[in-house]
Amino acid sequence: MASQAGPLTNLAAITAMTPGDTHPSDNQAEVTITIQGVDIALGLGVDETRPNVGDRLAFTLTVDNLGALDATGLVISDNLPLGLDFVSATPSQGTYTSGTGVWDVGNLGFRAPPAPWCSRPM
């Protein structure tokens, strides 16, 4: 049973025999496998990188599962820096709690279309 994602190499070797081997160079074998898992890609953008004081900004956060398995219980934290005031959020999936900056996405299927989070006017 695979317990972790990523590349793994299994190596087998002859460690003892009688009589001795006349060709010891072929006394080991190996195979490398890549265990598939969840690969979450997170993106964050803003509609204006040089706003004026008093301007409203729209941040867009996207999350995409590029892996081979469904992601379950996905929770993302996005806290605003000092100097920005929260106005609203419209998540396309799950719920967002403005007081904590936590987006509870829930489950995200593998290789599903990216889930746009929301536009958050500031």
Instruction: List pLDDT tens digits, range 20-33.
Output: 888 888 899 999 98
What's the residue count for the chain? 122
8: tokens are 């793994």
pLDDT at 117 over 80: no
pTM higher than 0.75:
no
Peptide bond into 19 cis (omega under 30): yes
Q: Domain ranges in the chain?
A: 6-35, 40-121
Give the span between the Cα atoms of 68 and 63, in whole angstroms: 15
- In the chain, the percentage of residues whose pLDDT exceeds 90 is 41
